[in-house]
Amino acid sequence: EAFCHQEGGHLTSIQNTDQYNFIRDLIVRGAGFNQKSWVGGTNLDTGGQWEWTDGTPFTFDNWGPGEPNNQGGNE
């Protein structure tokens, strides 16, 4: 989030399937495939409870199998 803010942006929050599909389609069109990307979900300051960095409730998730798994201590 801090890096995005320095660049004039923010990490996104995803509230529903329509938003997820829209963002995924933007990534696929831009990269040519479903590139890995960062979103604004975090559990660093909440004792494991997920929240969005913009303060909106974390009511939607679409984790892949076995995710989140904190790969490399960065998730």
Q: Give me the domains of the chain, ranges plus CATH numbers.
A: 2-62 (3.10.100.10)
Contacts of 75 (CB under 8 A, 6+ apart): 67, 68, 69
Q: Identify which of 46, 44, 50, 47 has the alpha carbon closest to the alpha carbon of residue 62.
A: 50
CA distance 59 to 14: 9
Question: Whole-prediction pTM value?
Answer: 0.72
Give me the pLDDT at residue 75, please. Answer: 63
Give me the pLDDT at residue 15, please. Answer: 94
Per-residue pLDDT of the chain in tens (75 residues, 90 and over written 9): 899 999 999 999 999 999 999 999 998 988 887 777 888 988 888 777 889 999 888 888 888 888 888 777 766
